[in-house]
Amino acid sequence: MRGGPGEGVGVSAPSPFPQKSRTGLPAIVSMTEDSIKHPLRGIIHAVSVSDRKGVVKHNVLQARLLVEHGLEGDAHAEGGIRQVSLLSLASIDKMVAAGAKVKPGDFAENLTIEGLEVMTLPVGARLKVGEVELEITQIGKTCHKGCAIRELVGDCVMPREGVFVRVLTAGVVKVGDVIEVTDVPGGHPDGK
C-alpha cells in the first residue's frame, strides 16, 4: 500500500465486530497505513458546540469534556446517558452525496469522527481520546418534532447513525486527536 495512488482513500475493510451495521450491511472502517496496524482508531475531524438544543453547532478547535456531564458550554451537557454526541464523517459524506449542503456540526453532533464508523460499535464500548475516556450509552435517537436540522437539510442522520457517550475521565479533546476503541463488551477490541 505504500506510495500507491490513492493511498488511504476509498480502501475499506469489514468491521471486526460480529454484528452488522444498523442498515444490515457489513460495517466499514476506513483504512490508512496507521489504521491497518490499529483498525479501531479514527481521528477527531471536528469539535462542535452550541448554547441551544435542536440547532446546528459551530466548530471549535478544542473543548473540555467533564466527567458525568458532557462538553463544557454545550446545551446538551446535562449528565444522563447522552452527555456527548458522536457522528462519523462518513455519515455526513452520505448526506453530501445525496445533495445536502452540510458540514460537521450541522447534525448537532459534538464530535465528528473520521476513519471509524462509530455507529457500528456496541453499547458499552469504551473509547479514548488522549486522557479522555468515554463509554457508548446509546446508538441513534428519536428526532424531535420541529427539528431545525431536519428542516435545514431535509433529513437527519443522528436518529440512525448518531452515537451517544458518557464521560468517564475528563480532559480536552482537539481536532486531529486520535480516538481509539479500548474495550468492547465481552472482550478487548483486538479479540484477546
Separation CA 96–CA 87 (nearest Å)? 14
Q: Mean pLDDT over all residues of the chain?
A: 78
Asked if 59 contacts 162 with a C-beta cutoff of 8 angstroms, the reply is: no
Considering only CA atoms, which of 53, 84, 46, 52 is closest in space to residue 68? 84
| CATH number for 105 | 2.40.33.20
Lowest mean pLDDT among 37-41, 47-51, 57-61, 107-111: 37-41
pLDDT for 23-33, tens place per residue? 333 333 343 44
pLDDT for 141-173, tens place per residue? 776 666 666 776 677 788 889 999 999 999 999
Asked if 45 contacts 175 with a C-beta cutoff of 8 angstroms, the reply is: yes
**Domain membership flag for residue 6:** no
Asked if 124 contacts 61 with a C-beta cutoff of 8 angstroms, the reply is: no
Separation CA 49–CA 74 (nearest Å)? 5
Which DSSP letter does residue 108 get? Answer: -
The total number of structural domains in the chain stands at 1
Amino acid at 90: A
**Does pLDDT of 7 surpass 50?**
no
**Domain membership flag for residue 144:** yes
**Domain membership flag for residue 191:** no
**Domain membership flag for residue 71:** yes
**Domain membership flag for residue 58:** yes
Cβ atoms < 10 Å from Cβ of 144: 12
**What average pLDDT does range 44-68 have in this prediction?**
93
Write down the pLDDT at residue 145.
66
pLDDT for 75-129, tens place per residue? 888 888 999 999 999 999 988 888 888 899 988 899 999 999 999 999 999 999 9
**Domain membership flag for residue 151:** yes
Q: What is residue 81's three-state secondary structure?
A: coil
Domain range for 122 is 39-183
